[in-house]
């Protein structure tokens, strides 16, 4: 058992995987200098510039080289700095990586991990703050993972590297410094949710940083027993865990940082309503506006502990 930050847990998972498998390599801008958030610090010294590759400023070239590398037998880990910048490489992700196994009848695979630091962080404004997980969950052939703790960042990154399909791996920028216990050899199964807290009145489903916001909200809900579920993976997602809990409580709230309209919360809610007659549901998410730069305006689009507590109270009532 080790105490690690979220960022260091990811670095440890990657380093351990690279020591065990020489076909694993990482590519992205400024990796030799440690990456924009320090999550690759010291790795070039250990593995060399052939495996910790500092690429030119071209997300399409970075992603294209990784897809080619994956198709020819290696296991690339792509660092795209910000989820927003990944939009420059969407063709390589969506039209190439996600479809190759299907279009070649299972003869080809693309085991690539696409790390996309996501979410609001220090007034980073409209082009550096987005949560775009629903886009990728919509694409057949893509796996979507969103860890919320150091232990999950360690265990899920290892699982993502071992996965034979392309994995969009979204780490929340506001969690880099979060500290927590990481058990030695910790593993997490992709597609398996975590029941953070058990309860009997309302099921709250969330993922990424809002998992911690929801946990804070629970401290203000002395009269409501909340079952808190962290999905961890959006595709595949743990339908059985969510449906079992929602059937027990009869009330389901899904809260996420991404824009509410068309968000993945709608998929969770729709699935639950189809399966559980009489279930009461609600969703929380950001309004459909660009994320502002000014801190007071940025705060107006956040899903807060107060928002979640109020929504749970309304739902339970």
Output the pLDDT for position 121: 87
Whole-prediction pTM value?
0.95
Overall fold of domain 194-316: Rossmann fold (3.40.50)
Active-site option among 128, 172, 212, 251: 128
Tokens 């993945």: give the residue: 264
229 by DSSP, 3-state: which?
strand
* Residue ranges matching CATH 3.40.50.920 in the chain: 194-316
Q: Which residue pairs, CB below 8 angstroms and at least 24 apart, start in 37-45?
A: 37/7, 37/117, 37/173, 37/176, 38/7, 38/176, 39/7, 39/10, 39/11, 39/79, 39/176, 40/11, 40/14, 40/79, 41/11, 43/11, 43/14, 43/15
- The low-confidence residues of the chain, meaning pLDDT below 50, are none
Specify the CATH architecture of the domain 2-182: 3-Layer(aba) Sandwich (3.40)
pLDDT value of residue 132? 97
- Whether the ω angle into residue 236 lies within 30 degrees of 0, i.e. cis, is yes
Q: Is 273 helix (H, G, I), strand (E, B) or coil?
A: helix
Say whether 128 is catalytic: yes
Torsion region of 251: left, alpha or beta (phi above 0 gives left; psi -120 to 50 gives alpha): beta
Q: What is the pLDDT of residue 222?
A: 87
Instruction: Report the SS3 class of residue 174.
Output: helix
Gap between the Cα atoms of 295 and 27, Å rounded: 33
pLDDT of residue 184: 86
Cα gap 311→209, rounded to integer Å: 18
Task: Give the pLDDT score at 122.
Answer: 86
Encoding tokens for residue 269?
A: 């809610």
> Which residues have a Cβ under 8 Å from the Cβ of 2 and sit 6 or more positions away?
181, 182, 184
* Domain limits, CATH 3.40.50.970, in the chain: 2-182
């Amino acid at each position: 058992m080790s105490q690690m930050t979220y960022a260091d847990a990811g670095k440890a998972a990657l380093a351990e995987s690279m020591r065990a498998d020489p076909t694993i390599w990482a590519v992205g801008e400024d990796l030799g200098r440690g990456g924009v958030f320090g999550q690759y610090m010291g790795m070039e010294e250990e593995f060399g510039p052939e495996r910790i590759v500092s690429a030119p400023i071209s997300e399409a070239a970075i992603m294209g080289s990784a897809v080619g590398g994956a198709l020819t037998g290696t296991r690339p880990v792509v660092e795209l700095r910000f989820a927003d910048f990944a939009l420059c490489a969407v063709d390589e992700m969506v039209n190439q990586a996600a479809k190759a196994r299907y279009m070649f009848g299972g003869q080809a695979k693309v085991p690539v991990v696409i790390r996309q630091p996501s979410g609001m962080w220090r007034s980073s404004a409209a082009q550096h703050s987005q949560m775009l997980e629903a886009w990728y969950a919509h694409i057949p052939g893509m796996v979507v993972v969103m860890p919320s703790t150091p232990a999950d960042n360690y265990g899920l990154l290892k699982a993502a590297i071992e996965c034979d399909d392309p994995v969009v791996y979204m780490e929340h920028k506001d969690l880099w410094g979060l500290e927590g216990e990481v058990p030695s050899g910790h593993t997490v199964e992709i597609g398996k949710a975590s029941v953070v807290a058990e309860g009997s009145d309302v099921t709250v489903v969330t993922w990424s940083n809002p998992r911690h916001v929801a946990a804070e909200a629970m401290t203000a809900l002395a009269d409501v027993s909340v079952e808190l579920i962290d999905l961890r993976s959006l595709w595949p997602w743990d339908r059985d865990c969510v449906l079992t809990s929602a059937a027990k409580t009869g009330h389901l709230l899904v809260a996420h940082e991404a824009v509410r309209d068309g968000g993945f919360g709608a998929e969770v809610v729709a699935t639950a309503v189809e399966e559980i007659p009489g279930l009461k549901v609600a969703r929380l998410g950001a309004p459909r506006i660009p994320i502002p730069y000014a801190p007071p305006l940025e705060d107006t689009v956040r899903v807060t502990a107060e928002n979640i507590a109020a929504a749970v109270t309304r739902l339970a009532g």
